[in-house]
Chains A and B, each alone.
Chain A
Amino acid sequence: MSSAMQFYVSTLLVYAGVYIIAAWGLNLQFGLTGILSFAYILFQSIGAYLAAVFSLGPPASRADVETYAFGANLPFPLPILVAAAGGALLAAVLGPIVLRRLRSDLQAITMLVMSLIATDVISSDQSLLNGATGLSLVPAPLSTVLGLSSLQYQWFFVGMVAVICAIVYFVMNRITSSPLGRALRTVRESERSAAAIGKNVFALRMRAFIVGGAIAAVSGALLVLFIGSWAPGSWLYIETFVLFAAVIIGGSGNNLGVAIGALVVPVGSVEAVQYLPSFGPPGMIDALQWVVIGLLLLLFIWFRPTGLLPERRRYFPVSDLRNGRQAASEADR
């Protein structure tokens, strides 16, 4: 592979990893638990901002380039962990406001509104996170320590994203296949029935919201550490829609399906466009891309609402059933 090609492929792989992680977090909140998490991009964004300011160093050290309210120079894995904690914290704060009493469509609109308010506030307040310009020149993690060539570093980053992907997959898989995942699905299927068998619907929603928020924040942290900049333009509410499209098209509730959805929608549609001969006035291709994503989503909801890979039917393992018979016959005796 030529080095230009390697650059291209490795960049694509990093984006794929980041979007897959983000889609998994949304799958936990929306696919499994049924929360219409229309402020989802906020979790990714808070992760990105936190990872950025905790890599950039104290604000005074960068006063000539950009202004932000707080920051530090933390060693490598810490910015990502701080980001995850920030995402979880944001979910813990927003959750009680949104998930407690409102009907699901009002939950959605309230979160959408929160997303817009956040964009407005962050853009207008220069001192908080450098306003509409956003943060830039975020140092790449370990780049000075490792002393790799820029191409080698690209592949190092791919490896790092792959490892984090594996960790997030492990967490997602443990949750979906556990009694917790099952309880989350009861909330999605029928809130009142879940409550009627003693499930604390709000607490379960909060669990999904917080873990999903932390996962989204990790994706944001990886993204900002890779591209080095983050601004309000990177997290408009429409980005939430892209991830919803990815989850629904891929197969809401199915971790593998959702990963495929993330490859098809955000990564695939953006990259596919690059190979098209450019036509029409400037911006036309971008607009058509959105039309295609929107239509694709509507077509899927109409023809295949379960997505490319539908949620797996959960069979109980044979061992449960066999031991079940023993236990049952013992109980009879």
Chain B
Amino acid sequence: MTGVTASSGTGAILSVSELRCSFDGVNAVDGVSFEIAHGTTVGLIGPNGAGKSTVCNIIAGTIKSSSGHVVFDGHDITDHPPFRVARDGLIRTFQLSAEFRRMTVLENLVTAGQNQRGESLTGALLGRWYWGRQERELVARARQLLERVGLWERRDDYAGNLSGGQRRILEILRALMTEPTMLLLDEPMAGVHPDIRSRIADQLEELAAEGLTMLMVEHELETVERLCDSVIVMAQGRIVSIGAMEDIWRDEAVLDAYLVG
């Protein structure tokens, strides 16, 4: 199973078709189509300015497309606002991690729980008896996640005081707290110390093994090679090649794209 196809198929969780996006007349994304199968991990690679992050941002709803469609889990989510895409179960992370700095590690996770009773105004005014039970369940889930990565002891620290690598892990855990169907990782290794990278990769590998679908934009080819079932190569706003990692480098077009930039 390669997990990714250029044409229509069944079993796809995310399907992107003929996506286009232009800024000031420049086509940043120029007719991109692909599908991602349930339970696979796919890498999105390519030289700088290839339009990878733009594709990622369009899927997540942070940038509006000029034309094309994004279908996730059977729903057309093209140009939906980011929070709706997230509520549908497609959760993204950012190149520069944006944790809630002046909130504790545990708060960062617990707040990511979906459909919280205490987030409505009446719920909040009714008080703890109304939402306390759900709160305990969320804390329990957060605890499991934090204990897995050894961050439980730091639960009461402000997230802003964590190291870069820890913050990246926290961001991934926060995504997991929402019980996502799929993760969209925008350069998960960017700005992370090389020693920590393998720890993050371990985490992601574990998630992949549990059957979580992931699409990751990544420069670090070593990581992509280790984690991804298949890769999509982009250059100048278009897809150059799609396939398994080991085949991709035999593709003339891919070498051209990387050499020409």
Complex contact flag A–B (Cβ < 8 Å): yes
CB distance from A85 to the nearest CB of B (A): 15
- CB contacts under 8 Å to B, within A22-78, are none
**In the complex, which residues of chain B have a beta carbon less than 8 angstroms from the beta carbon of A327?**
136-137, 140
Is A268 an interface residue, CB under 8 A from the partner?
no
What CA separation (Å) do A182 and B91 show in the bound complex? 20
Is A207 an interface residue, CB under 8 A from the partner?
yes
CB distance from A328 to the nearest CB of B (A): 5
Is B83 an interface residue, CB under 8 A from the partner?
yes
Give the number of chain A interface residues (Cβ < 8 Å): 40
Q: B86 contacts which of A189, A190, A198, A328 (Cβ < 8 Å)? A: A198
Q: A180 contacts which of B87, B92, B98, B120 (Cβ < 8 Å)? A: B120
- CB contacts under 8 Å to A, within B146-200, are 155-156, 158, 174-175, 177-178
What CA separation (Å) do A199 and B83 show in the bound complex? 6
Which residue of A is nearest B118, CB measured? A179
What CA separation (Å) do A180 and B122 show in the bound complex? 10
Whether A175 touches B101, Cβ cut-off 8 Å, given contacts A197-B91, A324-B139, A327-B140, is no
A sample of 12 cross-chain residue pairs with beta-carbon separation below 8 angstroms, ordered by A number, consists of A183-B116, A185-B102, A186-B111, A189-B99, A195-B86, A199-B83, A211-B121, A313-B156, A320-B132, A321-B139, A328-B140, A328-B144
Q: Is the CB of A320 within 8 A of B135?
A: yes
Q: Is the CB of B125 within 8 A of A179?
A: no
CB distance from A157 to the nearest CB of B (A): 27
Q: Is the CB of B103 within 8 A of A189?
A: yes
Is A181 an interface residue, CB under 8 A from the partner?
yes
Q: Is the CB of B123 within 8 A of A179?
A: yes
Q: B127 contacts which of A174, A201, A316 (Cβ < 8 Å)? A: A174
Is B82 an interface residue, CB under 8 A from the partner?
yes
Whether A181 touches B124, Cβ cut-off 8 Å, given contacts A197-B174, A324-B140, is yes
**In the complex, which residues of chain A have a beta carbon less than 8 angstroms from the beta carbon of B136?**
319-320, 323-324, 327
Is B107 an interface residue, CB under 8 A from the partner?
yes
Q: Which one of B132, B141, B144 has the greatest number of beta carbons of chain A within 10 Å?
A: B144
Q: Is the CB of A179 within 8 A of B103?
A: no
Give 1 or 0 for each of B189-225: 1 = CB within 8 Å of chain A CB.
Answer: 0000000000000000000000000000000000000
Q: B114 contacts which of A175, A198, A313, A324 (Cβ < 8 Å)? A: A198
What CA separation (Å) do A323 and B141 show in the bound complex? 11
CB distance from A189 to the nearest CB of B (A): 4
Give 1 or 0 for each of A311-326: 1 = CB within 8 Å of chain B CB.
Answer: 1011110011101111
Give the number of chain B interface residues (Cβ < 8 Å): 53
- CB contacts under 8 Å to B, within A156-196, are 171, 174-175, 178-183, 185-186, 189-190, 192-196
Q: Which one of A193, A196, A211, A328 has the greatest number of beta carbons of chain B within 10 Å?
A: A196
What CA separation (Å) do A40 and B19 show in the bound complex? 43
**In the complex, which residues of chain B have a beta carbon less than 8 angstroms from the beta carbon of A179?**
111, 116-119, 123-124, 131, 135
Q: Is the CB of B102 within 8 A of A198?
A: no
What CA separation (Å) do A211 and B122 show in the bound complex? 12
CB distance from A225 to the nearest CB of B (A): 26
Whether A180 touches B102, Cβ cut-off 8 Å, given contacts A193-B94, A196-B82, A321-B139, is no
What CA separation (Å) do A323 and B135 show in the bound complex? 10
What CA separation (Å) do A327 and B117 show in the bound complex? 19
**In the complex, which residues of chain B have a beta carbon less than 8 angstroms from the beta carbon of A186?**
100, 103, 111
What CA separation (Å) do A227 and B155 show in the bound complex? 50
Q: Is the CB of A174 within 8 A of B83?
A: no
Is B62 an interface residue, CB under 8 A from the partner?
yes
Is A276 an interface residue, CB under 8 A from the partner?
no
Is A200 an interface residue, CB under 8 A from the partner?
yes
Whether A198 touches B178, Cβ cut-off 8 Å, given contacts A324-B139, A328-B144, is yes
CB distance from B100 to the nearest CB of A (A): 4
Q: Is the CB of A314 within 8 A of B174?
A: no
CB distance from B20 to the nearest CB of A (A): 23
CB distance from B175 to the nearest CB of A (A): 7
**In the complex, which residues of chain B have a beta carbon less than 8 angstroms from the beta carbon of A316?**
106, 110, 135, 139, 155
Is B81 an interface residue, CB under 8 A from the partner?
yes
**Given known contacts A175-B121, A320-B132, A321-B139, what 17 new A-B pairs fall within 8 Å (CB)?**
A174-B124, A175-B125, A178-B123, A179-B124, A181-B124, A183-B116, A185-B102, A185-B103, A190-B98, A196-B82, A313-B104, A313-B158, A314-B107, A316-B106, A323-B139, A324-B136, A324-B143
Whether A178 touches B124, Cβ cut-off 8 Å, given contacts A192-B82, A196-B94, A197-B174, is yes
Is B244 an interface residue, CB under 8 A from the partner?
no
Which residue of A is nearest B60, CB measured? A196
Q: Is the CB of A325 within 8 A of B143?
A: yes
**In the complex, which residues of chain B have a beta carbon less than 8 angstroms from the beta carbon of A195?**
81-83, 86
CB distance from A140 to the nearest CB of B (A): 31
Whether A197 touches B139, Cβ cut-off 8 Å, given contacts A180-B124, A183-B119, is no
What CA separation (Å) do A171 and B81 show in the bound complex? 31
Q: Is the CB of A193 within 8 A of B100?
A: yes
**In the complex, which residues of chain B have a beta carbon less than 8 angstroms from the beta carbon of A171?**
125
**In the complex, which residues of chain B have a beta carbon less than 8 angstroms from the beta carbon of A272?**
none
